[in-house]
Chains A and B, each alone.
Chain A
């Protein structure tokens, strides 16, 4: 392109970033929340309390499943790790029992009646599956966004002239200059994280986006996938035999994996002589996301097989996905991930705002901007203030919707999009500056309401949580208050903001 490398890269950075910026903001925000997926779910299911040991949990789970689905094709038991307090059950029914296929148990193995909610899981899924559209489209759209994100990051690095001299620079009260500094600071400080998260994000769905390596080298893709997992021995029932005690198997696996715990237990043909038990290493105990597995004979408890050996490339892939999802991260590291995710969201948001700030000055008549400018401006307001407001609405709906409501979990989710839509409508109808102030204020108010409504509708209010040292609940309420403060500050600054008269702007430009 004309004007040299830096200018063409700046052009590419601007437009690739703008094209997907709004969706990218949503992906970043919900993805960031997913680092606390289990904690969010715990907050959204205040009925579940207490902790469980793995052995109690596994005994309770087997007791329950033998009662409810004794002849199932397979059972899957997810044990409560260090961060959860419930055991998740899932089963493929065999002949005869097909009413329910999942349940949640508490520490003692009793079924808990939880409010109908998707909890943190919905935000995690929205992060790559979006909502209201077929999953496969959503994943291609998200992949497209991620690819443009990668391009925007790389072209942004080339564009940024003074990456080292401006490293620490954040100039306030200088209009466009301040937005540029804020965008640079959030991008440059988090650069290793941004690059890692974008590339590994593409890798998580690599076989969807790039199936050609498999297609061109295997006649049947299944041949490839079979090299990844231990094949299932038998799917036909032969003769009844009681299932072996699973607790000793957990201990053996743990000893084999240098103390790492098993998290997922798969049982095929439970109650049959041909039963197998497959244990998968907990995600918290190693960076690679495809945990090691051990397979045992379900009747005798004898060891059958380990997972197929993994070479360097497979381990790299597994570690990249593990790095992305951060399931291995302990609490301090998890907070660092969360902080970096917020930094990424801030980078996208400041980039979007910068686009309008930069162009407003070049408009022929700033009071009557052209359609494209108005569109970007309104979408920015609706996204940057509206989506967080929607998430706050999601948490409020979790506490306020009647527990017996039909399709309750769906309505919690609709609340996000209703709030988001309302913000968009507001942004379209009001003058832009007022719309910023009002939607930011609304977001702040909604976040501030979350701990209050929690205190009014459950006994687990912030004070009680602090006294009980319940850090999940206390932390959740605390983060809500912090977010409320952030949005309130933003609203206050937007309200105080006076656009600079033209001469002053030129002075600032000359100085920069």
Chain B
């Protein structure tokens, strides 16, 4: 990909750079935010004692993060990827906010 871009026009190169930048941003920050929100929410769903559930969710978080990163670079469209990431974040964030209102902290 990087090698092929050399032969392309400046415009095509700019598009390719934007594509990579979008994916990198979505993967790095979006991936971390998704993993963080999952780690925050999962303990409330797992049928385990609170401290156990927190540890289990934290252990899983890196697998979630890695999955999002791989997905970000595997999927076809960078723009659609960003939409998906924002959508997932909105849903998870709303869930976290609502369960926070419901008094989920010890």
| Residues of A participating in the B interface, judged by any CB pair closer than 8 Å | 1-3, 5, 7-9, 11-12, 14-15, 147, 150-151, 154-155, 158, 199, 202-203, 206-207, 209-210, 212-219, 223-224, 227-228, 311-314, 316-317, 320, 362
Contacts and interface: CB of A to CB of B under 8 A. Distances in A.
B62 A213 contact: no
A214 B57 CA distance: 10
Contact of A3 (B1, B23, B39): B1
A413 to B, nearest CB: 31
Best-buried of A2, A206, A217, A317 by chain B (most CB within 10 Å): A217
A316 B37 contact: no
Nearest to B105: A219
B36 A212 contact: yes
Contact of B58 (A14, A15, A210): A210
Given A213-B54, A311-B49, A2 B70 contact: no
A213 B58 contact: yes
B50 A217 contact: yes
A1 B105 contact: no
Interface residues of chain A: helix, strand, loop or mixed (majority): helix
24 contacts: A1-B23, A7-B1, A8-B1, A8-B74, A9-B74, A11-B1, A147-B69, A154-B66, A203-B59, A203-B62, A210-B61, A214-B58, A216-B39, A216-B43, A216-B100, A218-B50, A218-B105, A219-B105, A223-B106, A312-B56, A313-B48, A314-B51, A317-B55, A317-B58
B105 A314 contact: no
A362 B3 contact: yes
A202 B74 contact: no
B105 A199 contact: no
Nearest to B37: A212
A93 to B, nearest CB: 33
Interface string B68-106: 011001101000000000000000000010001000111
B26 interface: no
Contact of A212 (B1, B2, B19, B40): B40
Contacts of B42: 213
Contact of A151 (B1, B3, B66): B66
B44 interface: yes
The 3 closest A-B pairs by CB, nearest first: A216-B40, A313-B56, A213-B39
A478 B76 CA distance: 53
Contacts of B96: 216
Given A3-B1, A202-B62, A311-B52, A151 B40 contact: no
Task: Give the residue among B19, B65, B74, B76 with the most A Cβ atoms within 10 A.
Answer: B74
Given A8-B74, A11-B1, A224-B54, A147 B65 contact: yes
A212 B41 CA distance: 9
Given A5-B74, A9-B70, A212-B40, 10 more contacts: A7-B1, A8-B73, A12-B69, A147-B65, A147-B69, A155-B70, A155-B73, A203-B62, A216-B105, A316-B55
Nearest to A5: B74
A210 B70 contact: no
A209 B65 CA distance: 12
A150 B66 contact: yes
A217 B40 contact: yes
Nearest to B41: A216
Contacts of B73: 1, 8-9, 11-12, 155
Given A3-B1, A203-B59, A212-B40, A12 B70 contact: yes
Query: Which of B50, B59, B69, B104 has the largest number of chain A CB atoms within 10 A?
Result: B59
Contact of B52 (A1, A3, A314): A314
Contacts of A223: 106
B58 A206 contact: yes
Given A9-B73, A311-B48, A217 B54 contact: yes
